[in-house]
Amino acid sequence: MIGLTLFAGIALLPHHVGSASNRTTQSDPKITLAIQATSMAKALEQLSEASHSSLFTSVQTASDVITLRFKEVPLSEAMKRIADADDASWRQEGEVFRLIRTTDQVRAEKRAAYLKEVETIRKAIQKRSDALAKMPGWNSSEADLLATKVKSLIRGFNPNISNSNFYQQVSQLSQQAPIGRAMTKICAMLDPEELAQLPSSYRTVWSSHPTATQRPLPEGVMPVIEQYMAYQTQWQAAIDKYHVTPPTFGGATYWVGDFGDLQDANSPGKVTTVLLTAQKWSRDSAFSLELSAYDEKGKRIGQAQNSLSTDMSNYTDAMKDVPARPGERTIKPDPEMAPIVSQQFQATQRDPKPYPPQLLKKLLHPEDADPLSYFLSNSLIQASEIKDVNMVGILTDRAFFGSMMGEAKEITADTFIKRLGFFNTSIELKDGWLTVRPTQPDFAREDRVDRKELGRYLRRIVAGKPLTIDEHANFCLTLPPQETNFIPNSMANILHYQDTAYYDHNMLRIYALSTPEQRAKMSGGGLPFEALTESQLECVNKMVYGVNTNLQYTPPQNTDGNNVEFDWNLFYNGLMHEPTESLPNGIPPRGTLKMDVDNSFVVKTQDVPTRNYTMPGRQMDPSSLAWQKYSQEHPDLFPWMAEESQKVDLSRILYGKRLQLNFTLHFTPVLSLSYSFEEHNSSDFKSVSIDDLPADFKKQFDDAYNGLKQSYANAKPGQFNGNQRGTNPPPQ
């Protein structure tokens, strides 16, 4: 809602905007106005109407999202505060004033954000170095003491329970381990300015033996590594002495902290290769470092991680509900948004209630009612009222999800302001003004979701019919990726849309940008990487060398067609798991992208409501169905099948046709990446039992099931590692 009061003496805006001291009451009207989050263009239209002036945006500022609350604020002061908060300025065009952002202003805000990140990294490194300086020197006695602490800590590990105190202790002890100490010393050698300039979305790798896609480790690192090797020998002896073993749950073994590979305490190995990896998910996300050490066979024998980002130690405290003092006014949830809050935070969504028509209309038209107005701006306006200050806020999409937290109950203004500071937002309460700005304003604008495209997406997903592959691809081009903007996914959840298609954004983008000629080659002999456009090739580079890299390895074959002996651990936990080692010279231009079109029948299991969420049904071909049934029947052989998330109800299944596009990026004979897109209409699927499946499908299932029975006839419990979920080859 918009509240405004006009005062007597309002006149037309003068030709020149000066300071408030140069204005008369008639020429510089005082404005009382509150505006929920909306585009700058709409906000200035309302401000113009309230002040009888002509204020407009430019291309650079029209889509910026602003909220404000003015109480008897001179127009000149209001204009100045808006421009300052938005890193913009006013340009006079006759009697019109236009909000612009110059090249110099963009350059200045980028420089300010860069310097702030440099200082954040510098402080994080110094904090860790100070902690190391307070630790006792390393020796065999210290190794024994640490081993006993780690063993005691591991006893309390449970992957199914969220325990922040446990992981805080893990972090503290990890920094005392040899690899943790080495990490701290190496961090101190790095240049914060160089780190702040590293590209986001990619992994930057330094190596003791750099390949063409790596950088050499800084000078002075090798003595630290040599010291680490000596410490590691003592550490492994202590692990063996006190029988420290990693925790195991459901057949899966977990790596806890940076203590080293506890699974092989009797073979400490000698470090021959050291990798230091830096990565950021996006330009305004946490910056992290990882140090890994490998022996001459490529086996990982040590690993440490460190986050060089804003100190989050007070985050947990900020998220706690602080009771209001007697008589203290609190921020109250918006009654109109109560249905959202109750269904998102207080109840499961098994049987969600329909939203009131007016609320549903608002949710489906974000171009008219900005999503940041649902919770964020409403709370900001209330906070400024409670603090009795004026307020102007330039809001970012990153703050959307954070603003929903805690909205189920009243909170104090101080608590709300403190929480908001953890969501890429700068808060200033000074001189009677509450000012909210993005910490990375240029990135916030770059990654902001287009409200019209968001509305088009939301209205489509509630239409009832699943999105087609091509629709997913088209929306991929118009909506930002989920890892950098949560709003599309959060809004879909609010609207009770369950999208089971978790597509890789980069692969989907390659498909969306492909021409008919390219798709024809993909379906034929394969499209060479050298035939990809620059935009498509950038996606391939992100898939291989980016933060979500997950190269897949296939054992080479002998001349008789059988797979040769293959060290899976080397590729999935060892040195060759690092793409800059396994593909050291970049993307091979003669590699190929292939697409297989599968328009076949499948079975789909029913959705399974669990205690906290609904687990979507799975689609399976005859072989997959056979594996699911056999492995569920033998949890003694495959212990991970005892987990709730792995089980499915096979008593009643759905049978129907599905279109699936299977993509394989072949880099070398043993290195590849695979992705699948699929579409189907659930209403076309019919409920059946396994025994009632059509004859051809049933025969394929029976053949696959009988083959598994024969292959695993002599298998023994405990033979298979739970970390290889569902990928175990038949025993020889």
Q: What pTM, to 2 d.p., does this model score?
A: 0.82
Using CA atoms, how far apart are residues 344 and 531, in angstroms rounded to an integer? Answer: 46
Using CA atoms, how far apart are residues 277 and 288, in angstroms rounded to an integer? Answer: 8
Confidence of residue 24 (pLDDT cuts 50, 70, 90): very low
pLDDT digit string, tens, across residues 400-427: 866 655 455 788 999 888 888 888 889 9
Q: Of the ranges 140-154, 233-247, 595-609, which is most confident?
A: 140-154
Phi, psi of 329 (to 5 degrees): -75, 145
pLDDT at 68 over 50: yes
For the chain, what is the radius of gyration of the CA atoms?
A: 29
Q: What local confidence, expressed as pLDDT, does residue 724 receive?
A: 39
To which H or E segment does residue 662 belong? Answer: strand 653-666
Paired with 395 in beta bridges are 65
pLDDT at 352 over 70: yes
Sign of torsion, CA 198 203 206 209? negative
The residue among 460 and 644 whose pLDDT is bigger is: 460
pLDDT at 542 over 90: yes
Strands (E), 400-554: 425-430, 433-438, 527-528, 552-553
Let me know if residue 654 belongs to a domain.
no
Confidence of residue 265 (pLDDT cuts 50, 70, 90): very low
Q: What local confidence, expressed as pLDDT, does residue 73 receive?
A: 97
Q: What is the DSSP string of 460-478?
A: HHTTSSPPPHHHHHHHHHH
Q: What local confidence, expressed as pLDDT, does residue 405 receive?
A: 53
Residue 402 belongs to what domain range? Answer: 326-455
Structural domain ending residue among the three candidates 455, 481, 502: 455
Using CA atoms, how far apart are residues 138 and 168, in angstroms rounded to an integer? Answer: 22
Q: What is the DSSP string of 316-336?
A: HHHTSPPPPPTT---BPPPGG
Confidence of residue 262 (pLDDT cuts 50, 70, 90): low
Residue with tokens 């986001």: 200
Using CA atoms, how far apart are residues 333 and 376, in angstroms rounded to an integer? Answer: 10
Q: Are residues 72 and 52 in the same domain?
A: yes
pLDDT digit string, tens, across residues 145-175: 999 999 998 888 877 776 777 877 888 888 8
Let me know if residue 287 belongs to a domain.
yes
Let me know if residue 124 belongs to a domain.
yes
pLDDT at 456 over 70: yes
Structural domain ending residue among the three candidates 431, 455, 479: 455
The residue among 168 and 9 whose pLDDT is bigger is: 168
Q: Are residues 180 and 288 in the same domain?
A: yes
Q: Are residues 279 and 140 in the same domain?
A: yes
Token pair, residue 431, equals 């001189």
Q: What local confidence, expressed as pLDDT, does residue 563 receive?
A: 58
CATH number at residue 26: 3.55.50.30
The residue among 574 and 35 whose pLDDT is bigger is: 35
The residue among 452 and 262 whose pLDDT is bigger is: 452
In the chain, what percentage of residues exceed pLDDT 90? 51
Q: Are residues 7 and 78 in the same domain?
A: yes
Q: What local confidence, expressed as pLDDT, does residue 689 receive?
A: 92
Q: Please name the residues in contact with 466: beta carbons below 8 A apart, sequence gap of 6 or more.
A: 679, 680, 681, 682
Confidence of residue 348 (pLDDT cuts 50, 70, 90): very low
Confidence of residue 500 (pLDDT cuts 50, 70, 90): low
Token pair, residue 343, equals 């269904």
Token pair, residue 8, equals 């007597």
Which alpha helices (H) appear in 514-659, and where do they start and end? Answer: 516-523, 534-545, 568-572, 579-582, 622-633
Q: Are residues 71 and 158 in the same domain?
A: no
Q: Are residues 288 and 336 in the same domain?
A: no
Q: What local confidence, expressed as pLDDT, does residue 710 receive?
A: 93
Q: Of the ranges 497-501, 507-511, 629-633, which is most confident?
A: 507-511
Confidence of residue 4 (pLDDT cuts 50, 70, 90): very low
Q: Are residues 27 and 160 in the same domain?
A: no
Q: Are residues 330 and 438 in the same domain?
A: yes
Report the pLDDT averaged over residues 171-180: 87
Q: Are residues 42 and 144 in the same domain?
A: no
Report the pLDDT averaged over residues 54-71: 97
Q: What local confidence, expressed as pLDDT, does residue 555 receive?
A: 79
Let me know if residue 237 belongs to a domain.
yes
Let me know if residue 474 belongs to a domain.
no
Report the pLDDT averaged over residues 633-638: 88
Q: What local confidence, expressed as pLDDT, does residue 562 receive?
A: 61
Report the pLDDT averaged over residues 534-552: 94
DSSP, collapsed to helix, strand or coil, labels residue 96 as strand
Q: Are residues 253 and 160 in the same domain?
A: yes
Rounded (10°) angle between helices 140-154 and 221-241:
60
Q: Are residues 351 and 292 in the same domain?
A: no
**CB neighbourhood size of 259 (10 A):** 27
Confidence of residue 307 (pLDDT cuts 50, 70, 90): confident
pLDDT at 1 over 70: no
Let me know if residue 722 belongs to a domain.
no
Report the pLDDT averaged over residues 16-39: 69
Q: What local confidence, expressed as pLDDT, does residue 22 receive?
A: 39
Q: Are residues 340 and 286 in the same domain?
A: no
With contact defined as beta carbons under 8 Å apart, do 702 and 581 qualify?
no
Let me know if residue 566 belongs to a domain.
no
With contact defined as beta carbons under 8 Å apart, do 289 and 183 qualify?
yes
Q: How many domains does the chain have?
A: 3
Let me know if residue 707 belongs to a domain.
no
pLDDT digit string, tens, across residues 331-342: 988 888 888 877
To which H or E segment does residue 287 belong? Answer: strand 287-294
With contact defined as beta carbons under 8 Å apart, do 198 and 283 qualify?
no
pLDDT digit string, tens, across residues 653-667: 999 999 999 999 999
AA identity, residue 247: P
Confidence of residue 132 (pLDDT cuts 50, 70, 90): very high
**CB neighbourhood size of 694 (10 A):** 10
Structural domain ending residue among the three candidates 455, 479, 495: 455
Averaged pLDDT of the chain: 85
Report the pLDDT averaged over residues 240-244: 88
Paired with 672 in beta bridges are 552, 666
Smallest CA-to-CA distance from 395 within 358, 433, 441, 428 is with 441
